[in-house]
Amino acid sequence: MIMKDGGSILSGGQNRAGNRSPLRVVRLMTFGLAVMLLAGCAKDTVKTGPDAFASEVYVEPVTNLPRDFLRGMDISSVLSEEESGVVYHDKTGKEASLFLILADAGIDMIRVRVWNDPYDGDGHGYGGGNCDTQRAARIGARAAECGMQTLVDYHYSDFWADPNKQMAPKAWEKLSAAEKADAAYTYTAESLSAIMNAGADVRIVQIGNEINNGMAGETTEGAVLSILKSAARAVRDTASAQGKEIRIAVHFTGVDDRGMIERKAKWLTEGGLDYDIFGVSYYPFWHGSLENLKTVLTQIRTDTGKETMILETSFPYTTQDGDDSGNSAGDTKELGNYYVSVQGQTQAVHDVFAAAAEAGAKGVFYWEGAWIPVPGSSKADRQKLWEACGSGWASSYAGVYDPEDAGRYYGGSSWDNQAFFDHSGNLLPSVDVFKGIRTGTASKADPMSGYCKDPHVQAPAQAESLLANPGFEDEDLSMWEVSFNGAKDPTDRQTKEADAKSGENAFHFWSAQAVDFTVEQTVKVTENGTYVATAALQGGDVGDDADIHLYVRVNGKEAGTDPVQLTGWVNWKEPVVEFDAAAGDDVTVGFLVKCKPGGWGTIDDVVLARK
């Protein structure tokens, strides 16, 4: 995870003069009822285990949690935090070692990322913890001293690796794919040996980080597979030489895209990769529903026979930004189904643990649960520490290696509102979730106070649409007519639950060229009356001059809403047009989308209904 922080087209789309009646534009976003809020929860429904302990937060024990289920945390930035003067406090308020605090909280395993060479030519660190082999070894050794095991997360890059960025290490830039595979063997064996020789109790090695679209500068599946095989062989050989048993994990993200994840699992199987754990990232605010997560993990385990794990998850406890560097998530009081609060953080993490256990996964790792603001009375003061100690997500020195991202947006931690410590280093009660999933907690906290939506009650059913395939769940889109300007149709049917308002499919658009299309469907109504047309859409990067709106035509008369402003991922907009129609009238419901190159979005749940 990285922190950052055609055809004929209608002209215009606004109401034409003389055509406003009987069509009426309703600008209120009234469609899409929210799930009802709970006022409270009867205390006789509270579940606790026989070993429940007192806590300020409520945690319900997870049923049938396996004894060997791992409770992990990534703390890769800890050395840079300490070097910047960050101090952590235990439950009593006393200054204490982060490692002792986490071991006492029930953490079994520490995850630490490793970059090949996160320094510029003058030795200045790139930031993000300056996580090289030497620092990973120190973290792993300190974890072992406190009884915790280590997962080593190799990125095979000199800085952040994720689905959008898999840059080769500087030393590998001119190597062929085959040469990179050889280099991966040597590097992995040497680095892993050094970490283990330092005293780290390494039990899992992750070869690559969120490798959906490549690794080490390679993008073809054959090249990536060859590097993975070499890295896996290095892990096996090193473990054997040291008389240790180490499991190998492969890591992907985008679990909300079920088809993609299943294809990746099949690719590894058919390619004959020697590995043990299929790992995924799952952030409740980015990656779809828990039900989909359980389905995917269960299917992967069935199809491959491999263990599964959630290698990254998190949730914010506050909307406040502690270092003037922006937050990646949690700027609103409600996020998904949970309140952004200490109890909300507790409940969100609990639910991920419960879903993983139900799906037969072997563990969950929380990502960077101690990356809090560094000391300083101003951003300028903190900037000096980010630069000198690498305690921000990126320093300015990283711009040489990563000019398009770190070179433009270097700064502090965008994750400080998702830690288990407040901005002053005081331990939060939400950390009790790690022990509480086994025993439950004895707490006066309302069990449902972490939810902003009732998780036990389904949302009210949407109005039945007179349109065919209104949610694009069926593959047959012949009832929808798409007209576009340009050399290539910028639209498609996308299967990705996180980008759908409901179900797992939506009508998607994107193009590297200017986007200019309409999508519409015409039906004949059978009754006189007042009708409503509405839909849900979300997206971004459309430009200030974009014209995106819902329109309706009845017997040649047309009305459309004002342009809809798309303001980002899953910020759903729900425009409405209300109009009168008579039995036998042809009614067309459609969307006009005109935006700049790179604009993207999805349209879902297009409803035409009689009031």
- The average pLDDT across 5-28 equals 35
pLDDT per position as a tens digit, 78-87: 999 999 999 9
Q: How confident is the model at residue 27 (pLDDT cuts 50, 70, 90)?
A: very low
Q: Is residue 291 among the annotated active site residues?
A: no
Closest Cα to residue 170, out of 116, 124, 114, 224? 116
Please give the Cα distance from 573 to 570 (Å, whole number).
9
Q: How confident is the model at residue 346 (pLDDT cuts 50, 70, 90)?
A: very high
Residue 213 has pLDDT above 70, yes or no: yes
pLDDT per position as a tens digit, 521-535: 999 999 999 999 999
| Helical spans, DSSP H, in 252-369 | 258-271, 290-304, 342-358
Q: How confident is the model at residue 14 (pLDDT cuts 50, 70, 90)?
A: very low
What local confidence, expressed as pLDDT, does residue 205 receive?
Answer: 99
Q: How confident is the model at residue 462 (pLDDT cuts 50, 70, 90)?
A: low
The answer to whether 23-33+460-610 and 43-442 have equal CATH topology is no
Residue 32 has pLDDT above 50, yes or no: no
| Helical spans, DSSP H, in 198-326 | 221-241, 258-271, 290-304
Residue 228 has pLDDT above 50, yes or no: yes
- The average pLDDT across 155-174 equals 97
In the chain, domain spans: 23-33+460-610, 43-442
Q: Sign (positive/negative) of CA torsion 505, 499, 280, 49?
A: negative
Q: How confident is the model at residue 198 (pLDDT cuts 50, 70, 90)?
A: very high
What local confidence, expressed as pLDDT, does residue 569 receive?
Answer: 79
What local confidence, expressed as pLDDT, does residue 47 receive?
Answer: 64
Please give the Cα distance from 202 to 204 (Å, whole number).
6
pLDDT per position as a tens digit, 384-394: 999 999 999 99
Residue 164 has pLDDT above 50, yes or no: yes
What share of the chain in percent tops pLDDT 90?
Answer: 82
Q: How confident is the model at residue 251 (pLDDT cuts 50, 70, 90)?
A: very high
What single letter denotes the amino acid at residue 392? G
What token pair was written down for 450? Answer: 């972490």
For 23-33+460-610, give the CATH class.
mainly beta
What local confidence, expressed as pLDDT, does residue 395 receive?
Answer: 98
Catalytic one among 312, 504, 574, 578? Answer: 312
CA distances from 40 to 178, 448, 451 (A): 60, 7, 10
Say which residues have a Cβ less than 8 Å from residue 252's Cβ, sequence separation at least 6. Answer: 210, 211, 212, 261, 264, 278, 279, 280, 281
What share of the chain in percent tops pLDDT 70?
Answer: 90
Q: Which helix (H) or strand (E) holds 309?
A: strand 307-313
What local confidence, expressed as pLDDT, does residue 456 receive?
Answer: 59
Mean pLDDT taken over the chain: 90
For residues 286 and 3, the model is more confident at: 286
CA end-to-end distance (rounded Å), the chain: 46
187 exposure class (CB count in 10 Å sphere: 0-12, 13-18, 19+): buried
What local confidence, expressed as pLDDT, does residue 469 receive?
Answer: 95
Q: How confident is the model at residue 572 (pLDDT cuts 50, 70, 90)?
A: confident
In 10 A of CB 251, how many CB atoms? 23
For residues 459 and 189, the model is more confident at: 189
What local confidence, expressed as pLDDT, does residue 38 receive?
Answer: 29
The answer to whether 596 and 514 have CB atoms below 8 angstroms apart is yes
What token pair was written down for 89? Answer: 């406090």
Q: Is residue 312 among the annotated active site residues?
A: yes
The answer to whether 611 and 577 have CB atoms below 8 angstroms apart is no
What single letter denotes the amino acid at residue 254? G
Say which residues have a Cβ less than 8 Å from residue 419's Cβ, sequence separation at least 6. Answer: 317, 368, 369, 370, 371, 372, 428
Angular region, 402: left φ>0, alpha ψ -120 to 50, beta rest: beta
CA distances from 435 to 166, 168, 315 (A): 36, 40, 17
Please give the Cα distance from 340 to 67 (Å, whole number).
30
Residue 309 has pLDDT above 90, yes or no: yes
Residue 45 has pLDDT above 90, yes or no: no
What local confidence, expressed as pLDDT, does residue 29 receive?
Answer: 38
- The average pLDDT across 539-554 equals 93
pLDDT per position as a tens digit, 89-148: 999 999 999 999 999 999 999 999 999 999 999 999 999 999 999 999 999 999 999 999
What local confidence, expressed as pLDDT, does residue 49 receive?
Answer: 66
Where is mean pLDDT largest: 4-18, 78-92, 563-577? 78-92
What local confidence, expressed as pLDDT, does residue 453 receive?
Answer: 77
What local confidence, expressed as pLDDT, does residue 502 receive?
Answer: 86
Please state which CATH number belongs to domain 43-442: 3.20.20.80
Q: How confident is the model at residue 544 (pLDDT cuts 50, 70, 90)?
A: confident
- The average pLDDT across 562-591 equals 89
What token pair was written down for 203? Answer: 């039990």
Residue 305 has pLDDT above 60, yes or no: yes
Residue 608 has pLDDT above 50, yes or no: yes
49 exposure class (CB count in 10 Å sphere: 0-12, 13-18, 19+): middle
Say which residues have a Cβ less than 8 Å from residue 262's Cβ, sequence separation at least 6. Answer: 296, 299, 300, 303
Residue 8 has pLDDT above 70, yes or no: no
Among the ranges given (404-418, 442-456, 476-490), the one the predictor scored with the smallest mean pLDDT: 442-456
What local confidence, expressed as pLDDT, does residue 46 receive?
Answer: 54
- The average pLDDT across 18-46 equals 37
Catalytic one among 81, 210, 497, 558? Answer: 210
What single letter denotes the amino acid at residue 65? L
